[in-house]
């Protein structure tokens, strides 16, 4: 009989956010990634790897891309 096991896993992600300021971008990230549904492909048997993710801690601003219209 197959069982499921729940793990708390810390992942790193880099996300580009269109915003007018770094503060607005961080607010948007926190608002939209709180308990976000994620899909990470499929298990060997073909079932989807799905999970919920939320931010933990502060964000590191890595780059400011050029302005968008």
> How confident is the chain (69 residues) per 10-residue block, as mean pLDDT?
89 90 93 91 95 89 76
CA distance 19 to 51: 26
Structure confidence at residue 65 (pLDDT): 78
CA atoms within 13 Å, Cβ hemisphere of 6: 2
Q: Does any domain span residue 25?
A: yes
Q: What six digits make up the tokens of 69?
A: 């219209």
Q: What is the pLDDT of residue 13?
A: 87
pTM (2 decimals)?
Answer: 0.67
- For residue 2, the model assigns a pLDDT of 86
Query: What is the domain count for the chain?
Result: 1
Please tell me whether residue 63 adopts helix, strand or coil conformation: coil
Domain range enclosing 34? 8-56
- Residue 30 domain-assigned? yes
């Amino acid at each position: 009989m197959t069982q499921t096991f729940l793990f708390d896993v810390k992942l790193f992600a880099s996300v580009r956010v269109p915003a007018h300021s770094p503060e607005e971008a961080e607010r948007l990230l926190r608002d939209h990634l709180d308990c976000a549904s994620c899909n990470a492909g499929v298990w060997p048997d073909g079932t989807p790897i799905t999970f919920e993710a939320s931010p933990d801690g502060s964000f590191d601003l890595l780059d400011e891309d050029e302005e968008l219209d």
